[in-house]
Amino acid sequence: DRPSSKALVSNRFIGRPCRITLLIINNRMFRNLARIGGAVPRAVKSYSSTKFVPAGVVTQVIGAVVDVQFDGNLPPILNALEVTVAPGSPRLVLEVAQHLGENTVRTISMEATEGLVRGQEVKDTGAPIMVPVGPGTLGRILNVIGEPVDEQGPIEGNVRAPIHRPAPLFTEQGKSQEILVTGIKVVDLLAPYAKGGKIGLFGGAGVGKTVVIMELINNIAMNHGGYSVFAGVGERTREGNDLYHEMIEGGVIKVDKATGKPIPGSKAALVYGQMNEPPGARARVALTGLAIAEYFRDQEGQDVLLFVDNIFRFTQAGSEVSALLGRIPSAVGYQPTLATDMGLLQERITSTGVGSITSVQAVYVPADDLTDPAPATTFAHLDATTVLSRQIAELGIYPAVDPLDSTSRMLDPRVIGEVHYQTARATQKLLQDYKGLQDIIAILGMDELSEDDKLTVARARKAQRFMSQPFHVAEVFTGRGGRFVQLEDTIKGFQEILSGKLDSLPESAFYMSGNIEEVKETAAKLAATA
């Protein structure tokens, strides 16, 4: 390397050009690191205006990938282009993915490309995809480009935001580790959620995943005043429709009963890019939901809950377009940019000094192979896992959270305190001991157990039933009013079960109850009627 001419002016530096060059490079690296807040390159921060760029023309259509040729300057990467397929038809949005030779850009289509032909005119918007954000999105269903798809008219408000933006700087991120109290006993005790953290929700069909999601949305709104954003990524349209109507029934979304029009008071916004959509939409719809959540965090200082169902489909969509973009596939046929794509999404989900985005992501594991690159890349970003178990659902215990499989990095005495930590670990040990005794009980019966083991089984069954809880959004099914249980009450309840203070109470008193005082009241009523 040649030293700088400025460095060579001073005689005392002559003869040491390598050191000077390193100093110059290090200074430049230091300035870059200070600017970007770390060694990880940030996403594109600003977009050059291209309003004077002449319109381009379509030169090639390969499924979801469209090539567009321009006469002059090319639009920057990630800019949105628009094309009218036919007079009177909705606009088709393309996103610039690559610059090719001969003044051509390769783009990803956000909608089906049927009817698109070579030679059609394409206009550059001069910006990335911009979507509506703010209170006007609450109670509404949007698609990937921010258009309402619920037939309830245009979105109110004129605030729009780009779906691509950099993650918060290290200096902007929240300094303290806090847990987000959900009001769900089993979650708060054994696998607490971090404010600004990322939680993986594992569960098959019919174990209550949707109900848990709705209760979390309801509890965050009621007790933290926060909003929720649900991003449906590559899942069934029927399930998206069911969720919308269940949210209306549960009071999460408010509509006028006579007209069906949304009214103020809704707590959630829905963004859908379901499995019938082209891969471009499925690869970007999570970013659309994130842009809406970021507005509530940054502009209104909210603690926002972001649901992504399903994060695997985000990766799958990227894999579908990767080959069409001409990239060489990596392991198992996934895109070579798998870790980068996931990182750009996940790093934006965090808490800042103003508010937080806590994300609950449903994770599909292909062929139950946890080493598959898609789920393995997701796991690297998760702070907690909540596993819904069919075996627990079969016992009639809802929420059917598996207390032994669910984990959280927040379960640390330095974060949650010694009392909470010891109570959680003692509860897990009790349930693990009970699990180990179940084979003996099944073969020989309870009578063959020692007195200590009988006591362990009795307390474990009470703890297991105490983990059940009536939900606000399930009042129509259970006939019981929902309960939001404070963390202190949850810890106190399990401490009393573990200490043996409640050994005299019947098991049935613990089922579908809120705090431990309610258990005692139920037990007293049962004793009075006996």
Radius of gyration over alpha carbons of the chain, in Å? 27
Which of the residues are catalytic? 209, 235-236
134 and 303 Cβ atoms separated by less than 8 Å: no
Task: Report how far residue 421's alpha carbon sits from residue 202's, in angstroms, rounded to the nearest whole number.
Answer: 24
- CA 387 from centroid of its chain's CA atoms: 15
91's tokens: 């606009």
Which contiguous run of DSSP H or E holds residue 361? strand 356-362
- CA 340 from centroid of its chain's CA atoms: 17
Listed residue (38, 286, 300) closest to 171, CA to CA: 38
- The helix, strand and coil proportions of the chain, stated in percent and rounded to the nearest 5, come to 40, 20, 40
DSSP string, 426-482: HHHHHHHHHHHHHHHHHHH-GGGS-HHHHHHHHHHHHHHHHT----GGGHHHH-S--
Diameter of the chain measured on Cα atoms: 101
- State the DSSP code for 145: T
Task: Report how far residue 100's alpha carbon sits from residue 78's, in angstroms, rounded to the nearest whole number.
Answer: 14
Alpha helices by DSSP H, 134-208:
185-190
**Terminal alpha carbon distance of the chain:** 91
